[in-house]
Structure 1
Amino acid sequence: MSDRNELFLTCPKGLEGLLLEEAIGLGLEEAREHTSAIRGLADMETAYRLCLWSRLANRVLLVLKRFPMKNAEDLYNGVLDVDWHDHMVPDGTLAVEFSGHGSGIDNTHFGALKVKDAIVDKLRTPSGERPSIDKFSPDLRIHLRLDRGEAILSLDLSGSSLHQRGYRLQQGAAPLKENLAAAVLIRAGWPRMAAEGAALADPMCGVGTFLVEGAMIAADIAPNLNRIHWGFDAWLGHVPAIWKKLHEEATERAEIGMAKPPLWIRGYEADPRLIQPARNNIERAGLSHWIKIYQGEVATFEPRPDQNQKGLVICNPPYGERLGDEASLLYLYQNLGERLRQACLNWEAAVFTGAPDLGKRMGIRSHKQYSFWNGALPCKLLLIKVTPDQFVTGERRTPEQRQAEREQAESVVEAPVQQQFNKNGNPIKPAPVVIEQPRLSEGGQMFANRLQKNLKALGKWVKREGIDCYRVYDADMPEYSMAIDLYHDWVHVQEYAAPKSVDPEKASARMFDALAAIPQALNIDKSRVIVKRRERQSGTKQYERQSAQGKFTEVMEGGVKLLVNLTDYLDTGLFLDHRPIRMRIQKEAAGKRFLNLYCYTATASVHAAKGGARSTTSVDLSKTYLDWARRNLSLNGFSDKNRLEQGDVMAWLDACREEYDLIFIDPPTFSNSKRMEGIFDVQRDHVQLLDLAMARLAPGGVLYFSNNFRKFVLDEHLAARYAVEEITASTIDPDFARNSKIHRAWKITAR
């Protein structure tokens, strides 16, 4: 081979410019950018150096040959023309990767097969020896890229992708690749800051990738120094002497770097399950004395080692996995912004985000933004200087005021911290720094005003009735389409999915405005706001588990205690709109046998027991909800004389021969559970359901029937058999007065 070889360095999309700068610094000549790659010329020493030192490349490909091709035969002959005896032994192992299409090659598998056939045919010996295929750990990995009628045949010097440094054997749900993390650090200016002795902190460190990559940069450790297997190990063109020299130089540089006093590098992670994996990764990288990991929420993140220390806060906030998650992340970004403003004055920050609109909600401006790709996801890197003139507050400042604030902040940090004493010689405690909260947008303030107005209007009623949980907002303003319920000191927000006619960006912005307003308007901590997205449901989807936190909150209603779960399901276990019916049941239940059909979590049964019912029977198909019902009854001391039955309500009623004095039925609109016979449709089946239930009603008894199907029409023929009275208006409390169609209810008795 010649002294200078053509090299292709591949990289994630968006890193080409950074990789170009890095590769030129490592000796690549005549370098140029391509899509997700750069190319240039280099001798073997430079090629090895790129393998060892590139923090950004995925692969280093050494071009063996370029040739034109018009069809599969040209491809075969072009590969066959290479003297493969210079590159591998006849009985070695081989893997081929093919990219591109055209010139009669429309299938990459077919293209790779033709390349493999040519190499095997070239090396086949008279005795029958030939290379075999090993896709996972071959002696030689060959790449062929087809580009506009030209074949570029290359040898992969890397082996496995260079982003796989070897220290990260444990990872979280959505980790950044190591070379992307390094690119973010480089773009954020960390190499310069590290050389100046700056600190590095990650408040959402996951398994520690940013921290390890940052420490390796600071300690001058080659990113691939500890890699065991390389693509050139079994290559016959490998020059071990050159490689050994470069590896020894890199080892010496790492030893010198590690001998320096370590920088202050800290990670914080809220999920306790990631703490040990992060520490294990750091230990494998040999950086345990440089990097420390602590468990903690973003809101308690305290990165400043001392008053004069400057540094970089870097993080990759989590991405939402389900509908509604992105909205919930607003508070995470707000907490991050608050901590930056309160604890990181005069630091720099780099926030790598897949939701740049959320980045705008931190209450602090970014002075630069860079586009990246995390796989197929477009992302932004927001670079921030944490100075008061960049804070977004309610007060408008002139450029001169901002400059004065910047100079004042710089002087505060640079001046030595001196303790002051009063005339008695006692130290004076410095006044706390008050950080003004980011102002609400015009829409957010309008929404906050509406919430406060509703809260005030309901205040006297809530206090008089002793109500602990109620609805404070239900799409009062069409552009802010959500329901907001208070559960003691928790807020439960259900975002109604915007219709397709609404611009998704506008809908998202309004949702963020509303979420920013809720804690301020209701005077509740952001950590106690739960956000979900509610869409048109089918079947039992609304009852399906959305999360698995298993956290129950105790609330009060009408003198009984009830358990709600605000996180795991769309519904919380308590239908607030049925409060009046439950209270009516409590008042009428004394001495009566009560039957609760489709009982859900049996809140109506708890009220009946509270009202002195002789017995209660609660029927539902779901074991999960019956277990919940059992807990509700037990919580109030009503375990005796309160029966729970699991089964399909229609089948259960058909088999039942008992009588009940008071019956409550609140069926689903539609159900097709595998554990029931057939499909239940409330419009189609309500007559049969009511006939079966009325057959179980004792003389003088009362049946209450309710459902929330907006288009429901009660069969007119029922009035010929029973006394039917619609009582909807009396079953809607003031908190649902704005939504009179939340449900309909009837009182039914025997004629």
Structure 2
Amino acid sequence: MSDRYELFLTCPKGLEGLLLEEASNLGLEEAREHTSAIRGMATMETAYRLCLWSRLANRVLLVLKRFSVQDAETLYEGVLEVDWFEHLQPAGSLAVEFSGHGSGIDNTHFGALKVKDAIVDKLRQADGTRPSIDKLNPDLRIHLRLDRGEAILSLDLSGHSLHQRGYRLQQGAAPLKENLAAAVLIRAGWPRIAAEGGALADPMCGVGTFLVEAAMIAADIAPNLTREQWGFSNWLGHVPALWKKLHAEAKQREAEGLAKPPLWIRGYEADPRLIQPARNNIDRAGLSHWIKVYQGEVATFEPRPDQNQKGLVICNPPYGERLGDEASLLYLYQNLGERLRQACMGWEAAVFTGAPDLGKRMGIRSHKQYAFWNGALPCKLLLIKVQPEQFVTGERRTPEQREREREQAEAAKAPLEPQERQYNKNGNPLKPAPAPAPVVEQARLSEGGQMFANRLQKNLKQLGKWARREGVECYRLYDADMPEYALAIDLYEDWVHVQEYAAPKSIDPEKAQARLFDALAAIPQALNVDKSKVIIKRRERQAGTKQYQRQATQGQFMEVNEGGAKLLVNLTDYLDTGLFLDHRPLRLRIQREAAGKRFLNLYCYTATATVHAAKGGARSTTSVDLSKTYLDWARRNLSLNGFSDKNKLEQGDVMTWLAEDRGEYELIFIDPPTFSNSKRMEGVFDVQRDHVQLLDLAMARLAPGGVLYFSNNFRKFLLDEGLATRYAVEEISASTLDPDFARNPKIHRAWRLTSRG
């Protein structure tokens, strides 16, 4: 066999240049770049060194032969000509990987089969002994690449991909591969910073991949030092003595590196479920005395190394898979930018992001950007020098100014003395205006963002007076008042619930995204609320039961008050919150009229109207809905107010339930969905098509002198004129809209129905 070999080193797309530099430094000669790979010439010692020390490669392939291929037969013959007795025992095992196509071979499985057949036929013994196939841990892993009629037949020296270092047995939802993390660290200048004794902090460390890779670089630890099984371990061309020498040298370098005083390397993670997995990974890497991990939010992140030490802040923020998802990450990026400006002056920062537009919202400029690929996702690495000249924010404040502002904010939070309290007309104490949050160095708003902020402040001034006067805690502040900012913004006490209406297809998605980000940036500043209390969702046309599907799993409920009733809302987990704010006047009307009556609530959702009826003294209530989730929520709402007896909750399809029910009710409320389907019901409910049948069934259950309230939010809905010939029908839509929905009279339509005569 030759003393020099042709090698191919594969890598993730975008790492070719870095890998070329690394491999050249490790001894690869005549190196050249290819797509997701490099090639060059090397001795066996260099090939082993590349396997051991490459932080960036996926595989090290040793080329056994190149030959031209015209068809499947010439492929077979070319592989057969290799002296496989130099590489594998006849009773050994192998795996074959085939890539590329052409020369009549368009199926990779077929190509791999032809390669396997040639190797097996070459090694088959007279007694029938032949190599077996083992795809997981073969003695030999063979790779053949077919490209424009040329076959490149290689032996995989690495075995399993080199990015699998062995320390990361536990990982988060979207892990960064180890070699990609190492590449990001190298591009960010970490080897230089580490050599100077600098620190490293990751404010969103997940399971600690950046931290471990950084410590391995700083401590001069070969990334694959602990690997026991290699692609060359059972290769007949393997030179054990040479490998043992290189491995011993790497062990010595590791011992010397770990004997040095450890650098300050810290990770912070908001999700408590990832803290222990991160620590376990660090322990497996043998670096627990170098790396510490703590639980903490990005908004409170503040690295504190000794002696005013500077270094690198590096992170890989979560990605939004869709536009609406990206919007929910805006505040995360803004918080990151604020913490860099306030707590990391003089540091360097590297933000690896799949959403570069969000990176622009950090309020700090990057001085350099690099393109990467994380799998199939294009990403950018933003390199930042945390210096005032890089900031794109408002006027900077001195520490003394910030301290005065904090003191003023704390003073504003002091509770009012009893004699200072004010009361609304119902005798309930008015809530004082929310105290201003401590002022931070916020990014400047764009011209459009400032216009949007001005509108929010104008609405807050007008509607806030009404809400305090009427004792309303939850109300709609903004509903696409400015068409280019298509959002619905609701206030739930000191929380802000934002729903983005999906832009029409005719609107440029990039422009729509920019406007959305401008608006979201304006909300905390205009309303003087912390970003952590702004919940963002995307609202699109909902089909079937999609509107009821879970969006998240935080399970955080908060209690709000409406007309003396306590109601539970969940701002995070579902598209709707559990409380339709536009029906507030109807619920209060029901409360006023319910005394002594039997109340029926159809399509009850979370039974907020039922709570009001019970609060108003209803003799009994019955609430019907198809969803067990919402009936459980309804049960909690009733229990919260002390109501349990005489309040029935029925699970079922409303139309079917009405057809079977024989009860009588003096007060009925119906607020059906526009469309609904479920495995529990037959067919599909369409409010326009089916409302006549629905109302006829419900009116049959209405007691003499009773009242039925019917409402729905289908914008194109037309009430069937024939209903007025059978019942007394009065449209009451205008009287069921409070000032917060008066700007949008199409939010719903409502009617009052009674029996004739």
Normalised TM-score (structure 1):
0.94
Give the superposition deviation at 1:325. Answer: 2.0
2:425 maps to what in 1?
Answer: none
Secondary structure of 1:736's match?
A: coil
Counterparts of 2:248 and 2:703 in 1: how far apart (Å)? 93
Deviation at 1:489, TM superposition (A): 0.9
Offset, 1:323? 6.2
> Residues 163-183 of structure 1, C-alpha deviation per residue, up to 9 Å, x if partnerless?
000101111111011000000
Shift of 1:575: 0.5
1:489 aligns with 2:524: no
Matched, 1:559 2:595: no
- 1:434 is displaced (CA, Å) by 8.3
Partners of 2:602 and 2:21 in 1: CA distance: 71
The residue type equivalent to 1:564 in the other structure is V
1:68-83 paired onto structure 2 within 5 Å: 68-83=68-83
Residue 434 (structure 2) aligns with: none
Residues 526-580 of structure 1 show CA distances to partners (whole Å, capped at 9, x for unaligned) of 0011111111011121011111111111111111111001111101111111111
What's the offset of the Cα at 1:681? Answer: 1.6
Runs of 5+ unmatched residues, structure 2:
400-437
Q: Give the whole-Å Cα distance in 1 for the aligned partners of 2:655 and 2:83.
A: 80
Distance in 1 between residues matched to 2:634 and 2:166, nearest whole Å: 51
- 2:650 maps to 1:645: yes
The Cα offsets for residues 322-373 of structure 1, whole Å up to 9 and x where unpaired, read as 6622111011111111111111110000000000000111111100000000
Larger mean Cα displacement after TM superposition, 618-627 or 339-348: 618-627
Which of 704, 714, 723 in structure 1 is aligned with 2:728?
723
Matching residue of 1:389: 389
Q: In the comparison of the two structures, how many residue pairs are matched?
A: 718
- The more displaced of 614-623 and 145-154 is 614-623
Q: 1:623 is matched with which residue: 614, 622, 628? A: 628
Q: Which residue of 2 aligns with 1:252?
A: 252
Question: Aligned runs of 1:202-217 on 2, under 5 Å?
Answer: 202-217=202-217
SS of 1:371's partner is strand
Distance, in Å, in 2 between the alignment partners of 1:612 and 1:705 is 21
2:230 corresponds to: 230
C-alpha deviation, 1:310, in angstroms: 0.7
Q: Quick one: distance in 1 between partners of 2:150 and 2:664?
A: 86
Asked whether the equivalents of residues 593 and 615 of structure 1 are also in contact (C-alpha less than 8 Å), the reply is: yes
Q: Are residues 1:463 and 2:479 paired?
A: no
Q: Could you tell me how far 1:598 is from its partner in structure 2? A: 1.1
1:379 aligns to what? 379
State the partner residue of 1:750: 755
**Is 2:93–2:138's contact at 8 Å kept on the other side of the alignment?**
yes
- 2:592 corresponds in structure 1 to 587
Aligned residue type for 2:301: F
Q: Distance in 2 between matches of 1:574 and 1:690?
A: 24
Give the aligned residue type for 2:295. Q
Name which of structure 1's ranges 254-263 and 709-718 shifts more when overlaid on structure 2: 709-718
Partners in 2 of 1:176 and 1:112 — Cα distance? 30
Alignment-derived partner of residue 479 in structure 1: 484
Counterpart among 661, 667, 672 of residue 662 in structure 1:
667
1:109 aligned onto 2:109: yes
Contact 1:591 1:614 in 2 (8 A): yes
Q: Which piece of structure 1 moves more, 635-644 or 544-553? A: 635-644
- Structure 1 residues 541 and 435, CA gap change in structure 2 (3 angstroms): closer
* Separation (CA, whole Å) in 1 of partners of 2:672 and 2:374: 46
Q: Shift in Å at residue 581 of structure 1?
A: 0.6
Q: What's 2:637 paired with?
A: 632
Q: Quote the Cα distance in structure 2 between the aligned partners of 1:37 and 1:540.
A: 48
Amino acid at match of 1:63: V
Percent of aligned pairs with the same amino acid? 86
3-state DSSP of counterpart to 2:636: helix
Post-superposition shift, 1:129?
A: 1.1
Could you say what secondary structure the match of 2:740 adopts?
Answer: helix
Per-residue CA deviation, residues 197-219 of structure 1 (Å, 9 max, x unaligned), is 00011111011000000000000
Q: Distance in 2 between the 1:102 and 1:441 partners?
A: 54
Structure 1: 5+ residue runs without aligned partners?
397-404, 410-432
Give the secondary structure class of the aligned counterpart of 1:180: helix
Kept in 1: contact 2:24–2:31 (CA 8 A): yes
Q: What's the CA shift for 1:678?
A: 3.2
Q: Separation in 2 of the partners of 1:395 and 1:74?
A: 73
Alpha-carbon distance change, 27 to 385 in structure 1, aligned in 2, over 3 angstroms: same
1:398-431 residue CA offsets vs partner (Å, 9 max, x unmatched): xxxxxxx9xx99xxxxxxxxxxxxxxxxxxxxxx
8 Å contact kept, 1:53–1:224: yes
* Alpha-carbon separation, structure 1, partners of 2:652 and 2:441: 57
Q: Is the Cα contact below 8 Å between 1:225 and 1:250 reproduced in 2?
A: yes
For residue 307 of structure 1, report the CA deviation from its aligned partner: 5.2
Distance 1:543 1:255 in 2: 58
Kept in 2, the 8 Å contact 1:221–1:257? The answer is yes
The one of 522, 526, 535 equivalent to 1:530 is 535
Helix, strand or coil for the counterpart of 2:313?
strand
Q: Following the alignment from structure 1 to structure 2, what is the Cα–Cα distance between the partners of residues 554 and 340?
A: 35
Q: What is the aligned partner in structure 1 of residue 443 from structure 2? A: 438
Letter in 2 for 1:74: T
Write the letter of the residue equivalent to 2:208: G
Structure 1 residue 394 displacement after superposition: 3.1
- Aligned residue for 2:255, secondary structure, equals helix
Paired amino acid for 2:10: T
Matches within 5 A, 1:125-204: 125-204=125-204
Matched with 2:282 is: 282
Alignment of 1:347-386 (within 5 A): 347-386=347-386
**2-structure distance, mates of 1:474, 1:629:** 27
Q: How many angstroms does 1:38 deviate by?
A: 0.5
In structure 1, what residue type is equivalent to 2:527?
L
Which residue is 1:426 aligned to? none
Q: Choose which of 688, 693, 716 in structure 1 pairs with 2:698.
A: 693
- Aligned 8 A contact 1:304 1:344 in 2: no
Aligned to 1:60: 60
Query: Where does residue 605 of structure 2 map in the other structure?
Result: 600
- Residue 120 of structure 2 corresponds to 120
2:683, 2:246 → 1: CA distance?
73
Give the TM-score taking structure 2 as reference length: 0.93
Aligned equivalents of 2:98, 2:477: Cα separation in 1: 60
Separation in structure 2 between the aligned mates of residue 322 and residue 635 of structure 1, nearest angstrom: 37
In structure 2, C-alpha distance between the alignment counterparts of 1:435 and 1:459, rounded to whole Å: 25
Structure 1 CA distance for aligned equivalents of residues 492 and 266 of structure 2: 37
Q: Which amino acid aligns with 1:191?
A: P
Contact 2:338/2:441 (8 A) holds in 1: no
Partner-residue secondary structure (3-state), 2:728? strand
Q: CA deviation at 1:321?
A: 4.9
Contact 2:501 2:539 survives alignment (8 Å): yes
CA deviations 1:57-83 (Å, max 9, x no partner) are 001111111111211111111111111
Q: Which SS does the other structure have where 1:282 is aligned?
A: helix
**Superposed CA offset, 1:557-614 (max 9, x none):** 1111110011111011111111111111111112222111111111111111222222
Q: CA RMSD in A?
A: 1.6
Preserved CA contact (<8 Å) 1:323 1:532:
no
CA distance in 1, matches of 2:122, 2:744: 79
Structure 2 counterparts to residues 1-12 of structure 1, below 5 A: 1-12=1-12
SS of residue matched to 2:306: coil
Alignment-derived partner of residue 414 in structure 2 = none
- Deviation, structure 1 residue 641: 2.4
Residue aligned with 2:9, SS:
strand
Give the secondary-structure state (helix, strand or coil) at the position aligned to 2:225. Answer: coil
The answer to whether residue 689 in structure 2 is matched with residue 684 in structure 1 is yes
- Deviation at 1:320? 2.5
Return the letter of the residue paired with 1:259. A
